[in-house]
């Protein structure tokens, strides 16, 4: 049972930025709003994990938990549904690459691309179907042309040992240094569009940074880290029974953030998404956290029928919608997506039970939300309540930090829900 005594038991570090000493590997590519490495370290230490442990991140994003575990010699498994983030996590945990040979190959690719740029006058572009998937003006014609030539050179000189790292280096510099994207609470297009960008000169230093980091971490390259592209709600079908010692993760929050938009530019230009059908398939594997990812056949809400707090929350949101006279299609879905979100998390927690060892420790980084007509959603408290109904024991809810709500400036809590699986 969630009680006042189980919440706010302690504060963890409130700093959400990556510290300079933590840039190694983590900075190869990461979400703007990813949790910081030092937060992961604190809980890996608190959970007393070591080389004989297995840590799982079922919503692994760009691999912060996996990288930190590998740096500390702890085997790990990640699950991620979006292909660009899955790719990033996979590359960021692949360290058995010769740094010098990586740089030599990248220099050869750069020379080939530079020669092609000099000899080609007609601007290359995307086909209309792929172009339609991008935010308007997310990349200008000349930088796009240069990026496509570099990508062709990487394909022409394809080397399996280096290609993925070279591609991730391009993904890192693509959104804001080559493209025109800016990141706040949401991804958007900068008011100042780039007419051109020195694509090769931006890409090569990113590869060089990787090579430097690989030399630094090579001694720890043998620690296993496996990344699965799949749905966290079916985790029991993916991982061996009774094998996981700990979970540390940050699932999506119940808000209007479309997580496929955050990496849309890289996903399309680097070939991970080619059509609207591809996007739809990705969204089907995600916990429903926004109305743009809700489908008629969704039924995760059936998993929380025995949780009156979620039902009351959904009723409050729907009553507020009616009171305010909000009638758009998305607004009509606010109550439903709230139930689908918590139902999806219930489904995940139920599936997780079979793969946890007795005494396994779990940390879920979640945040309050007020995106649905300013009705406060206490995500951590509700998640803890659901977890307890599935047999987990709530240890505490740690306050990580507070942040102002975009619409109201009200302070929202970001918390770590700490659970134990007692076993049967």
Question: pLDDT tens digits, residue range 266-291?
Answer: 999 999 999 999 999 999 999 999 99
Q: What Rg value do the Cα atoms of the chain yield, rounded?
A: 22
Mean pLDDT, residues 100-125 taken together: 93
Mean pLDDT, residues 369-391 taken together: 94
- For residues 263 and 127, what is the distance between their CA atoms, to the nearest angstrom? 19
Looking at every residue in the chain, the average pLDDT score rounds to 93
Q: What is the pLDDT of residue 372?
A: 92
In 3D, which of 298, 292, 294, 230 has the Cα closest to residue 258? 292
Q: What is the pLDDT of residue 4?
A: 42
- Percent of the chain at pLDDT above 90? 84
What domains lie within the chain, and their CATH numbers? Answer: 4-95+221-255+290-421 (3.40.50.150), 99-219 (no CATH)
Mean pLDDT, residues 371-375 taken together: 91
- Extract long-range pairs of 310-316: CB within 8 Å, 24+ residues apart: 310/338, 310/339, 310/342, 310/343, 310/382, 310/386, 311/339, 313/338, 313/375, 313/377, 313/382, 314/338, 314/339, 316/375
Q: What is the pLDDT of residue 5?
A: 47
Mean pLDDT, residues 108-125 taken together: 91
In our burial notation (b when 16+ CB lie closer than 10 A, e otherwise), range 274-304 reads: eeeebbeebbebbbbbbbbbbeeebebbebb
Question: pLDDT tens digits, residue range 14-43?
Answer: 567 888 899 999 999 998 778 999 999 999
What are residue 412's DSSP bridge partners?
403
- For residues 314 and 184, what is the distance between their CA atoms, to the nearest angstrom? 28
Q: What is the pLDDT of residue 49?
A: 97
In 3D, which of 293, 339, 343 has the Cα closest to residue 315? 339
Q: What is the pLDDT of residue 1?
A: 55
**What's the chain's length in residues?**
424
Given a cut of 70, whether residue 3 has pLDDT beyond it is: no
Given a cut of 90, whether residue 10 has pLDDT beyond it is: no
Q: What is the pLDDT of residue 179?
A: 97
Q: What is the pLDDT of residue 11?
A: 52
Mean pLDDT, residues 242-255 taken together: 95
Given a cut of 70, whether residue 51 has pLDDT beyond it is: yes
Question: pLDDT tens digits, residue range 177-220?
Answer: 999 999 876 789 999 999 999 999 999 999 999 999 999 999 99
In this structure, of 2-11, 139-148, 301-310, the range with the lowest mean pLDDT score is 2-11
Split at pLDDT 50, 70, 90, the class of 142 is: very high
What are residue 187's DSSP bridge partners?
183
Q: How many CA atoms lie within 13 A of 108 on its CB side?
A: 14
Question: pLDDT tens digits, residue range 383-418?
Answer: 999 999 999 999 999 999 888 776 667 788 999 999
Question: pLDDT tens digits, residue range 342-367?
Answer: 999 999 999 999 999 999 999 999 99
Q: What is the pLDDT of residue 31?
A: 82
């Amino acid at each position: 049972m969630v009680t006042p005594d189980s919440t706010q038991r302690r504060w963890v570090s409130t700093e959400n930025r990556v510290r300079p000493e933590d840039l190694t590997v983590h900075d190869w590519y990461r979400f703007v709003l990813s949790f910081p490495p030092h937060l992961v370290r604190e809980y890996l230490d608190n959970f007393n994990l070591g080389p004989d442990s297995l840590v799982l991140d079922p919503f692994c994003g760009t691999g912060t938990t996996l990288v930190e575990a590998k740096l500390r010699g702890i085997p790990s498994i990640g699950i991620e549904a979006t292909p660009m983030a899955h790719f990033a996590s996979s590359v960021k945990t692949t360290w058995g690459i010769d740094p010098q040979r990586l740089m030599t190959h990248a220099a050869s690719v750069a020379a080939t691309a530079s020669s092609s740029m000099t000899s080609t006058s007609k601007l290359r572009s995307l086909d209309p179907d792929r172009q339609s998937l991008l935010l308007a003006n997310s990349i200008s014609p000349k930088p796009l042309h240069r990026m496509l030539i570099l990508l062709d050179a990487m394909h022409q000189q394809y080397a399996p040992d280096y290609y993925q790292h070279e591609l991730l280096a391009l993904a890192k510099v693509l959104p804001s240094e080559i493209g025109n994207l800016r990141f706040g609470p949401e991804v958007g297009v900068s008011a100042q569009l780039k007419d051109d960008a020195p694509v090769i000169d931006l890409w090569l230093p990113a590869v060089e940074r990787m090579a430097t980091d690989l030399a630094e971490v090579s001694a720890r390259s043998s620690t296993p880290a496996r990344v699965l592209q799949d749905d966290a709600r079916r985790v029991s079908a993916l991982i061996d029974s009774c094998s996981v010692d700990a979970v540390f993760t940050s699932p999506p929050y119940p808000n209007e953030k479309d997580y496929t938009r955050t990496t849309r530019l890289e996903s399309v230009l680097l070939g991970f998404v080619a059509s609207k059908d591809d996007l739809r398939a990705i969204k089907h594997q995600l916990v429903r956290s926004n109305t743009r990812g809700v489908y008629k056949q969704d039924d995760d809400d059936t998993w929380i029928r025995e949780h009156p707090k979620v039902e009351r929350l959904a009723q409050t949101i729907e009553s507020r919608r009616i009171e305010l006279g909000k009638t758009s299609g998305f607004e009509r879905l606010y109550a439903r997506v709230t139930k689908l979100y918590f139902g999806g998390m219930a489904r995940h927690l139920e599936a997780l039970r079979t793969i946890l060892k007795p005494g396994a420790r779990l940390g879920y980084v979640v945040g309050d939300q007020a995106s649905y007509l300013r009705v406060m959603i206490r995500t951590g408290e509700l998640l803890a309540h659901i977890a307890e109904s599935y047999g987990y024991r709530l240890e505490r809810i740690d306050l990580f930090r507070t942040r102002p709500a975009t619409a109201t400036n009200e302070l929202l809590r970001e918390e770590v829900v700490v659970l134990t699986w007692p076993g049967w």
